[in-house]
């Protein structure tokens, strides 16, 4: 069985949950007898060094079976590839590789029209799409956050979406929905990493019979360094992820500011991540101004440290410097890969109380919830975590090891073969210790 995996970015170029999971799957499938995986990852023009004259699809770093899709001519409203030469190159690529399964992990920078094109070129191939966010439903970058006030949005409609994009008439959102559903209709199966996400897409019109739950899984990066040495205080917090608006690092900084204003500074926060370039101008400025002010303080007065980007092989070192992992996402976080990474190291997680974190974290058993988007609620959780005796030990002991890569691979192989992906469900749902 030859499997083509289509990924938004390569994780070595741009770190993110969707591309990390796709690459984990790629590596895991290599170990499966009779399975031949091929990876095609999108690249955007800001990686100018990768764009060679006349090239549309190229190899990556001398690695066999890893290719880059050099996106250009992309229509972000319709999520359509408009470059005829790139479309021709994609057709030639499909005809050369001839996969039995094409598994899309995203359509951003590729174009949703590639779904129908793939079906036309490979009429007998099994096509699978994994929803990693709500881009099919929501034109606001798939975040389901209202542009008017930043509030969570529970459903899309022509009128509600028009309020976020006043320059686009309600009829445009009707056409966009029909466009999306037309191309999604060629898929044989859809998968989601969380069950709450299935309900959103079922309500939007995706057939439940074609949707399957396959949990995300990773290999263990802890290297046997999951346990911490005894300490009197568990007051070191870490953020791991992209510095974009919906990941909420700005909310964490506001919580720090609240605690500092109240005279509480007996804690530290380490920020690990990058991609601030993708944040909105207002959020980027807020983060940069906070960090600049922090840097100007005497060393002994600093609470927040900015560590920058990291690769997964750096997790043992960086996770080893913190006691807690903070996931302050302000949107419907689909799964929260960083939760699994924290659990590998037996770090309790403090997270928003909705979406994937709300589904996965058991409040007061293996982590803490706070009210989504509420800096005061987050500040109170941080203060409690840093001061309450025995809390860290109790929550750390309640952590169940996250699903491994082999569980995820088994679930997807089942979907590729026409099953339900249920092979992944028991391990993902088991909470026994």
Residue 7 lies in a domain: yes
CB burial of residue 307 (10 Å; 0-12, 13-18, 19+): middle
- Whether residues 35 and 118 share a domain: the answer is yes
One domain, residues 60 and 112? yes
Task: State what percent of residues in the chain have pLDDT above 90.
Answer: 70
Residue 66 and residue 147 in one domain: yes
Select from 266, 229, 264 the least CA-distant residue to 393. Answer: 229
pLDDT at 341 over 80: yes
226 occurs within a structural domain: no
Query: 333 and 373 in contact (C-beta within 8 Å)?
Result: no
Q: Which residue has the higher pLDDT, 223 or 307?
A: 307
What is the tally of structural domains in the chain?
Answer: 2
- Domain with 301, as residue range(s), is 236-397
Question: pLDDT grade, residue 226 (50/70/90)?
Answer: low
pLDDT tens-digit series, residues 395-407: 999 999 888 899 9
**Residue 88 vs residue 55, higher pLDDT:** 88
Whether residue 109 has pLDDT greater than 50: yes
User: What is the rounded average pLDDT for all residues in the chain?
Assistant: 91
Q: Does some domain include residue 229?
A: no
93 in the same domain as 7: yes
Q: Is the pLDDT of residue 426 over 70?
A: no
Q: Does the residue 228 lie in any domain? A: no
Residue 431: the pLDDT is 37
Residue 75: the pLDDT is: 96
Q: Is the pLDDT of residue 428 over 50?
A: no
pLDDT range class, residue 25, cuts 50, 70, 90? very high
pLDDT score of 227: 55
Confidence of residue 425 (pLDDT cuts 50, 70, 90): very low
Higher pLDDT, 278 or 372: 372
Do 293 and 380 reside in the same domain of the chain? yes
261 pLDDT above the threshold of 90: yes
Is 90 exceeded by the pLDDT of residue 289? yes
Could you give the CA distance from residue 49 to residue 30 in angstroms, rounded to a whole number?
A: 29
* Residue 412 and residue 368 in one domain: no
Same domain, 83 and 33: yes
> Is residue 8 one of the residues assigned to a domain?
yes
pLDDT tens for residues 295-336? 999 999 999 999 998 887 888 999 999 999 999 999 888 888
Q: What is the mean pLDDT of residues 258-265?
A: 97
CATH number for position 320: 3.40.50.2000
With beta carbons less than 8 A apart as the criterion, state whether 90 and 70 touch: no
Q: Tell me what percent of the residues of the chain surpass a pLDDT of 70.
A: 95
Residue 231 has pLDDT above 90, yes or no: no
DSSP codes of every residue in 246-315: GGTHHHHHHHHHHHHHTT----EEEEE---GGGS-HHHHHHHHHHHHHHHHS-GGG--EEEEE---GGGH
CB 367 within 8 A of CB 395: yes
Do residues 128 and 191 share a domain?
yes
| Res 234 pLDDT > 80 | yes
Residue 88 falls within a domain, yes or no?
Answer: yes
φ, ψ at 385 (rounded to 5°): -60, -35
Q: Are residues 409 and 393 in the same domain?
A: no
Per the CB < 8 A criterion, the answer to whether 110 and 135 are in contact is: no
Q: Using the predicted structure, report yes or no on whether residue 108 has a pLDDT greater than 80.
A: yes
Considering the domain architecture, whether residues 197 and 243 belong to the same structural domain is answered as no
DSSP for residue 403 = P
pLDDT reading at 50 higher than 90: no
- Residue 73 is assigned to a structural domain of this protein: yes
pLDDT in tens, 144-201: 888 888 788 888 889 999 999 999 999 999 999 999 999 999 999 999 998 888 888 9
Spell out where 159-275 has E strands.
189-192, 211-213, 236-240, 268-272
| 390 within a domain of the structure (yes/no) | yes
Indicate whether 270 and 337 sit together in one domain: yes
Predicted pLDDT of residue 412: 97
How is residue 50 annotated by DSSP?
Answer: G
The verdict on 8 and 32 lying in the same domain is yes
């Amino acid at each position: 069985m030859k499997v083509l995996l289509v990924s938004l970015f390569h994780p070595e170029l741009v770190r993110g949950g969707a591309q990390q999971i796709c690459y984990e799957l790629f590596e895991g499938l290599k170990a499966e007898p009779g399975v031949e995986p091929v990876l095609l990852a999108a690249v955007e023009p800001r990686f100018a060094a990768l764009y060679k004259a006349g090239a549309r699809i190229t190899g990556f770093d001398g690695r066999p079976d890893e290719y880059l899709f050099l996106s250009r001519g992309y229509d972000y409203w319709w999520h359509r590839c408009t470059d005829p030469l790139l479309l021709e190159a994609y057709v030639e690529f499909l005809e050369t590789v001839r996969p039995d399964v094409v598994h899309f992990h995203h359509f951003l920078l590729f174009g949703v029209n590639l779904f129908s094109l793939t079906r036309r070129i490979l009429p007998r191939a099994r096509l699978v799409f994994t929803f990693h966010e709500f881009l099919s439903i929501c034109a606001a970058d798939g975040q389901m956050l209202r542009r008017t006030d930043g509030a969570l949005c529970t459903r899309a409609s022509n009128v509600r979406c028009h309020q976020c994009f006043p320059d686009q008439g309600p009829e445009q959102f009707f056409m966009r929905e029909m466009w999306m559903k037309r191309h999604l209709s060629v898929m044989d199966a859809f998968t989601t990493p969380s069950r709450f996400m299935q309900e959103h897409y079922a309500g939007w019109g995706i057939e439940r019979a074609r949707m399957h739950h396959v949990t995300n899984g990773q290999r263990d990066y802890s290297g046997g360094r999951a346990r911490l040495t005894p300490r009197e205080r568990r007051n070191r917090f870490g953020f791991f992820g992209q510095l974009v608006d919906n990941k909420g690092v700005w909310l964490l900084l506001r919580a720090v500011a609240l605690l500092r204003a109240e005279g509480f500074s007996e804690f530290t926060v380490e920020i690990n991540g990058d991609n601030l370039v993708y944040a909105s101008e207002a959020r980027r400025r807020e983060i940069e101004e906070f960090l600049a002010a922090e840097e100007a303080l005497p060393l002994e007065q600093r609470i927040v440290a900015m560590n920058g980007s990291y690769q997964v092989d750096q997790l043992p070192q960086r996770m080893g410097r913190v006691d807690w992992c903070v996931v302050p996402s302000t949107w419907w976080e689909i799964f929260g890969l960083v939760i699994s990474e924290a659990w590998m190291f037996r770090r309790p997680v403090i997270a928003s109380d909705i979406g994937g974190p709300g589904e996965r974290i058991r409040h007061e058993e293996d982590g803490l919830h706070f009210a989504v988007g509420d800096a005061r609620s987050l500040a109170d959780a941080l203060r409690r975590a840093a001061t309450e005796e025995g809390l860290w030990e109790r929550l750390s002991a309640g952590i169940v090891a996250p699903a491994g890569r082999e569980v995820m691979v088994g679930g997807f192989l089942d979907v590729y073969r026409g099953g339900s992906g249920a092979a992944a469900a028991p391990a993902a749902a088991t909470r026994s210790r």
